[in-house]
Amino acid sequence: MTDGPNYGFDTLQIHAGARPDPATGARQVPIYQTTAYVFRDADHAAALFNLQEVGYIYSRLTNPTVAALQERMATLEGGVGAVCCSSGHAAQIMALFPLMGPGKNIVASTRLYGGTITQFSQTIKRFGWSATFVDFDDLDAVKAAINDDTRAVFCESIANPGGYITDLDAISAISDAAGIPLIVDNTSATPYLCRPIEHGATLVVHSMTKYLTGNGTVTGGVVVDSGRFDWSANDKFPSLSAPEPAYHGLKFHETFGSLAFTFHGIAIGLRDLGMTLNPQAAHYTLMGIETLSLRMQKHVENAMEVAGWLETHDAVEAVTYAGLPSSPYNHRVASICPNGAGGLFTVKLKGGYQSCIKFVDALQIFSHVANLGDTRSLVIHSASTTHRQLTPEQQEAAGAGPSVVRISIGIEDPTDLIADLDQALNASK
Q: What is the pLDDT of residues 241-291, one digit of tens each?
A: 999 999 999 999 999 999 999 999 999 999 999 999 999 999 999 999 999
The predicted model gives 74-90 an average pLDDT of 98
β-strands 182-185, 150-156: how paired? parallel
Query: How does pLDDT run across 156-181, given as a tens digit for each residue?
Result: 999 998 999 999 999 999 999 999 99
386 pLDDT above the threshold of 80: no
Q: Are 75 and 192 in contact (CB under 8 A)?
A: no
293 pLDDT above the threshold of 60: yes
Domain 11-288 belongs to what topology? Aspartate Aminotransferase; domain 2 (3.40.640)
Q: Are 329 and 165 in contact (CB under 8 A)?
A: yes
Q: Are 409 and 415 in contact (CB under 8 A)?
A: no
Q: Are 223 and 273 in contact (CB under 8 A)?
A: no
Q: CA 397 to CA 400: how far, in whole Å?
A: 7
pLDDT for 5: 62
429 pLDDT above the threshold of 90: no
> What value does the mean pLDDT of the chain take?
95
CATH 3.40.640.10-classified regions of the chain = 11-288
What residues does 134 pair with on adjacent strands?
109
Handedness of CA 79, 275, 370, 400 (dihedral sign): negative
4 pLDDT above the threshold of 60: no
pLDDT for 60: 96
Quick count: other Cβ atoms within 10 Å of Cβ 344? 28
Q: CA 107 to CA 121: how far, in whole Å?
A: 11
Query: How does pLDDT run across 329-356, given as a tens digit for each residue?
Result: 999 999 999 999 999 999 999 999 999 9
- Whether the bond between 5 and the residue before it is cis, its omega within 30 degrees of 0, is no
Q: How distant is the alpha carbon of residue 274 from its chain centre?
A: 19
Query: How does pLDDT run across 203-213, given as a tens digit for each residue?
Result: 999 999 999 99
397 pLDDT above the threshold of 80: no
The CA dihedral of 205, 210, 212, 213, to the nearest 10 degrees, is 130
The predicted model gives 212-231 an average pLDDT of 97
Number of residues written out for the chain: 429
The predicted model gives 69-98 an average pLDDT of 98
pLDDT for 249: 96
Q: CA 110 to CA 89: how far, in whole Å?
A: 17
DSSP tally for the chain: helices H, then strands E = 18, 12
CATH 3.90.1150.10-classified regions of the chain = 292-428
Quick count: other Cβ atoms within 10 Å of Cβ 162? 25
- Residue 1 pLDDT level (bands cut at 50, 70, 90): low
50 pLDDT above the threshold of 70: yes
DSSP 56: -
Q: Are 306 and 225 in contact (CB under 8 A)?
A: no
- What is the percent of the chain where pLDDT is above 90? 92
Q: CA 264 to CA 253: how far, in whole Å?
A: 9
pLDDT for 114: 87
Domain 292-428 belongs to what topology? Aspartate Aminotransferase, domain 1 (3.90.1150)
Cβ burial, residue 39 (10 Å; 0-12/13-18/19+): middle
pLDDT for 2: 53
DSSP 428: H
| Nearest residue to 199 (alpha-carbon basis) of 175, 225, 220, 172 | 172
